[in-house]
Chain A
Amino acid sequence: MSVEWDVQTITDQLDLRSPIISGVLAVLAAVIGMLLTAPYVGLTLPIGIAGVLFIAAGVFVSHSRSYVSLGLASMFIVLVSVGAVGAVPTPVLLIGGVFTVVAWDVGQHAVTLGKQMGRGPPTARGEVIHAVGTFMVGMIIAAILYGVSLVPLGEQAVFPIVLLLLGVVALFWAVRS
């Protein structure tokens, strides 16, 4: 008389995997971030590729945050390594940093959305807006930083300014909690 409810119907309805758009955006951002920085130093290229693979595994295979965070860790090592040897122009490093953060954030967002919403409901609009939001915030911060670093304040100017910035961030962090 009435439709019987079976296990198959439930699992079809409830696809708790990470949504595809965020996953694709995260991997795309990771690839761009990696290509911008890793090739400058040959040794970091495999680490960068590993980072991209970790993020891809996190959003498409295991749907877990740990993989996405491993991806960030790998790409972070790449950024710091190429930055430490001074192989990359500052703007490229900053933009690479933005893409790395976007890859991590959007990847995490994909995992969260997968657990909270799943692949069933419409999520595209929210996903794109979130990714664009994170990207824009990063680009604005990067632009301000780069602009400030160009202001001629003498030879050692960058250090005090960054000290200042970092002090402000630490203060902000302490006050808010």
Chain B
Amino acid sequence: MSVPTPDAERISGIYWISGIIGIILAGFGVAAVLIGGILEIAITEVFFYLGAVIALLLGIWRVRVRFNQGVDHLGLPVPELPFSNPTPGDDLDSMIHAYVTQGEQALEIPKQVGERLREAAIAAIAHREDITRDEAIDRLADGSWTEDQLAASYFAEDIPIPAQDFDVRLKAKLGIGKTLYEQQIEAVVNEIIGIAEMIEPREADESIESEDDEGGFLDRLGVGGGSGNRVITRGETSVQDYEDNPGEQLTDNLSQRPPRGTRRWLGMDACALLTFGVGVAALQPSLILLGALFGGYSGFARIGWTPTPGGVSVKREFSTRTPTPGEHVTVSVTVTNEGGSLLPDLRMIDLVPPNMRVVDGSPRVYTALRPGAEVVFQYTLMAERGTHEWPLLAVTSGFSGSVEQEFIMTVDSTLDCLPRLRTVADVPVRAQTSILEGQVKTAEAGPGLEFHSVRDYEPGDSMRRIEWKHFARTGELATIDFRVERAATVVLLFDAREDAYVSDHPANRHALDRSVDAATEVYAALSDSGDLVGLAAFDTIPCWLAPGAGSGHNERVRLLLAHHPAIQSMPPSMSDREGQYIDPMLHVRRQMSSGTQVLMFSPITAPYPAEVARRLNSAGHLVTVISPDPTAERTPGERLARVERAIRINMLRERGIRVVDWGTDKSLPLAFEEAKRGWGA
């Protein structure tokens, strides 16, 4: 079953000894019953006391085993928990944490961290002081960029690290405070923030500061059992794990994993042996009977029977089969035992995909099912776009609970969640248009609504556009020109790289989900005003829908937003999609006709999307970036990531690219309004 270890061999040796002792004891027992008169009482007494001593010693040994091994129940998944998205900057924090805790073994880390801080500092200084990059580097080197000596000493070699208060040093030595390195990094980050003037430098909130390198959501919440006990496995990977590795296939819709001992009754045998030993020593028959009772329980626990839920049928029903994202769907699961055997201990968890959240009720049940009985449980989830099918996990065990076995049942039910295309926002497009009529006002003169100019009449001009007042005054015909309104051709381009699956809080929706939400609104607004809209994404999977209009096109857009693997709401690392890197410049640009605008959705948490926006813009496609803000400011790393993003946005704006910075607390129309004020449009 398992790989034999020296420990395991030692234990199996002890089992042999106990087996032999058992045979001897049983033999004497039989002999004593059958031929009691023949054996001298003295001899029996010797064996009694010998038995008592052996029983006591074995009992003590079993107590020790119990202490060392402990109970080992399955850690079941927690589908209620959404997967925890990383927050931009977490990588930096974990590097710093790894360096501080592992010390010298991670010499690469300070180099990488230093490089990143340096780049951010140079960009911020150059931007603020309006100097060249080289000058900014000089200021870093001589320390004149900041007044904070601790921060200055990080980059400048000849500036000494300022002396620290005794208590700070003591705390750092004892490992309860921040080390000098951490303090220095915090000082540098705060100074960069101060220079960039984007967010007020402030003390990190210690209560929510992530201290562990996992950055786990549960760890931050402090959920998950007391110390010394197994902490429940986070839902993050477990649900996925069951789908990837369902174990041995039994029937079409049932597969099993190997049974596992829980060691739950470990300790009962110790009780039996100790009681027996004391009972024999004290010559108390009732105590010996009590020992036998404990032994009986121990034997009962040895029955490692787990029933197979072969005859169990599962029916899952939804309050609606085709919800829109964000809609609440009530799920009702009916489990019926149609087999012939009793299931005395049945735990079931509906393995809701981690991108959908359970908002009410519980997707679990614990019950016993006799043949013919059924159990129903209900919960409400919040639908997320995509087609979802998920299995049910059933854990069975016998009456004693000493062995558990997991079964994965596939349930035939599909939830298909399509986004609804609807307009709430008025989307500002840029003045780059196609030849088709639309609602973008151009500088061109012709038919339209908004006054442009008056010119001499030319034969063929529409009667309606003749300026009659002018004719009355002068007797000459003149024609009014209006600003021509044309349709724009717009491609909605998604940044769907792993970097886009980030959010400001592990439990919040990630930037790509927010982008797709925004895209449904933007698409509806644009197509209402007659613009031609296409979709594209840059990631490992090609995604391209040529600009178009009409109800057929709308339906294609809905389906693509819901189902396309490139923009699905599960991060690439958690899904099995494969592909190769796609250069958006090649893939997207080649297919865009000239005069096509780009509305790019990206959190801009990495230099790369900013680079894509810049290159598309200079290639003649006017770019507007709609950027959901996923940054937070709980830790130094997160604060640095926020500044880096702000610097990137500023650089894009300086190059004439419109950026809509969309904070989590703002609605999309509000973000547009704010951005428009900045453009002066």
Residues of A within 8 A of B73 (CB): 112, 115-116
Chain B: interface residue count, which band?
A: 35 or more
Contact B357 A5, beta carbon cutoff 8 Å: yes
- Picked from A2, A105, A163, A176, the residue with its CB within 8 Å of the CB of B325 is A2
Residues of B within 8 A of A141 (CB): 292-293, 296-297, 300
* One of B11-19, B432-440, B539-547 contacting the partner: B11-19
Contact A167 B293, beta carbon cutoff 8 Å: no
Whether, in the assembled complex, B401 has its beta carbon less than 8 Å from a beta carbon of chain A, the answer is: yes
A160-B23 CB under 8 A given contacts A13-B358, A108-B264, A166-B295: no
Nearest CB in chain A: distance from B518 CB, A: 10
Contact A5 B275, beta carbon cutoff 8 Å: no
Contact B507 A5, beta carbon cutoff 8 Å: yes
Nearest CB in chain A: distance from B675 CB, A: 19
- The CA-CA distance from A159 to B358 in the complex, in Å, is 60
Whether, in the assembled complex, B366 has its beta carbon less than 8 Å from a beta carbon of chain A, the answer is: yes
Whether, in the assembled complex, B622 has its beta carbon less than 8 Å from a beta carbon of chain A, the answer is: no
Contact B51 A163, beta carbon cutoff 8 Å: yes
Residues of B within 8 A of A79 (CB): 275, 290
- The CA-CA distance from A66 to B71 in the complex, in Å, is 10
Q: Which of A80, A113, A146 neighbours the largest number of chain B CB atoms within 10 Å of its CB?
A: A80
* One of A23-31, A44-52, A119-127 contacting the partner: A119-127
Interface hits, A68-87 → B, CB 8 Å:
69, 72, 76, 79-80, 83-86
Contact flags A116-156 to B (C-beta < 8 A → 1, else 0): 11101111011101100110011001100110010001101
- The CA-CA distance from A3 to B224 in the complex, in Å, is 25
- Picked from A142, A162, A169, the residue with its CB within 8 Å of the CB of B288 is A162
Contact flags A159-177 to B (C-beta < 8 A → 1, else 0): 1111111111111111111
Contact A134 B26, beta carbon cutoff 8 Å: no
Nearest CB in chain B: distance from A72 CB, A: 7
Contact B80 A13, beta carbon cutoff 8 Å: yes
A174-B26 CB under 8 A given contacts A93-B287, A98-B293: no
Contact B26 A171, beta carbon cutoff 8 Å: yes
Residues of B within 8 A of A109 (CB): 401
Nearest CB in chain A: distance from B216 CB, A: 13
- Picked from B33, B360, B377, the residue with its CB within 8 Å of the CB of A160 is B33
Contact flags A84-102 to B (C-beta < 8 A → 1, else 0): 1110111001100110010
Residues of B within 8 A of A7 (CB): 221, 507
- Picked from B29, B298, B326, the residue with its CB within 8 Å of the CB of A167 is B29
Q: Which single residue of chain A is at the shortest CB-CB distance from B401?
A: A109
Residues of B within 8 A of A14 (CB): 78, 80-81, 223
- The CA-CA distance from A44 to B170 in the complex, in Å, is 50
Contact A63 B225, beta carbon cutoff 8 Å: yes
Contact flags A16-53 to B (C-beta < 8 A → 1, else 0): 10000000000000000000000000000000000000
Residues of A within 8 A of B345 (CB): 126, 129-130
Contact B285 A90, beta carbon cutoff 8 Å: yes
Interface hits, B209-232 → A, CB 8 Å:
221, 223-226, 228-230, 232
Whether, in the assembled complex, B646 has its beta carbon less than 8 Å from a beta carbon of chain A, the answer is: no
Whether, in the assembled complex, B22 has its beta carbon less than 8 Å from a beta carbon of chain A, the answer is: yes
Contact B290 A94, beta carbon cutoff 8 Å: yes
- The CA-CA distance from A149 to B545 in the complex, in Å, is 85
Residues of A within 8 A of B204 (CB): none
Residues of B within 8 A of A167 (CB): 22-29
* One of B86-94, B113-121, B276-284, B594-602 contacting the partner: B276-284
- Picked from A133, A134, A163, A169, the residue with its CB within 8 Å of the CB of B272 is A169
- The CA-CA distance from A138 to B15 in the complex, in Å, is 25
Residues of B within 8 A of A176 (CB): 302, 304
Residues of B within 8 A of A142 (CB): 293
- The CA-CA distance from A6 to B347 in the complex, in Å, is 28
- The CA-CA distance from A175 to B16 in the complex, in Å, is 9
Contact B299 A173, beta carbon cutoff 8 Å: yes
- Picked from A64, A98, A173, A177, the residue with its CB within 8 Å of the CB of B228 is A64
Residues of B within 8 A of A126 (CB): 345-347, 366-368
Contact A116 B347, beta carbon cutoff 8 Å: yes
Contact B285 A158, beta carbon cutoff 8 Å: yes
Q: Which of B230, B268, B285 neighbours the largest number of chain A CB atoms within 10 Å of its CB?
A: B285
- The CA-CA distance from A173 to B20 in the complex, in Å, is 12
Q: Which single residue of chain B is at the shortest CB-CB distance from A159?
A: B48
- The CA-CA distance from A127 to B262 in the complex, in Å, is 18
Contact B226 A64, beta carbon cutoff 8 Å: yes
- The CA-CA distance from A149 to B282 in the complex, in Å, is 18
- The CA-CA distance from A103 to B5 in the complex, in Å, is 35
Whether, in the assembled complex, B390 has its beta carbon less than 8 Å from a beta carbon of chain A, the answer is: no
Residues of B within 8 A of A116 (CB): 73-76, 232, 347, 395
Residues of A within 8 A of B32 (CB): 156, 159-160, 163
Contact A83 B287, beta carbon cutoff 8 Å: yes
Nearest CB in chain A: distance from B294 CB, A: 7
- Picked from B12, B80, B377, the residue with its CB within 8 Å of the CB of A177 is B12
- The CA-CA distance from A130 to B288 in the complex, in Å, is 27
Q: Which single residue of chain A is at the shortest CB-CB distance from B503?
A: A5
A161-B287 CB under 8 A given contacts A115-B232, A141-B300, A166-B276: no
Q: Would you list 29 pairs from A and B whose C-beta atoms are within 8 A, ordered by A residue?
A: A2-B517, A6-B507, A16-B224, A80-B275, A86-B284, A93-B286, A93-B287, A94-B286, A98-B293, A101-B293, A105-B264, A105-B401, A112-B401, A113-B366, A121-B362, A122-B375, A125-B375, A126-B347, A130-B368, A130-B401, A141-B293, A153-B33, A160-B36, A163-B25, A166-B29, A166-B295, A167-B27, A173-B302, A174-B15
Where the two chains meet, the residues of A that have a C-beta atom closer than 8 Å to any C-beta of B are: 1-7, 9-11, 13-14, 16, 62-66, 69, 72, 76, 79-80, 83-86, 88-90, 93-94, 97-98, 101, 105, 108-109, 112-113, 115-118, 120-123, 125-127, 129-130, 133-134, 137-138, 141-142, 145-146, 149, 153-154, 156-177
Q: Which 4 A-B pairs have the closest CB atoms?
A: A167-B26, A2-B326, A170-B22, A174-B19
Other A-B pairs, 10, CB within 8 Å; known A5-B357, A129-B344, A129-B368? A7-B507, A9-B357, A83-B275, A84-B279, A101-B294, A121-B365, A129-B345, A162-B285, A167-B28, A173-B15
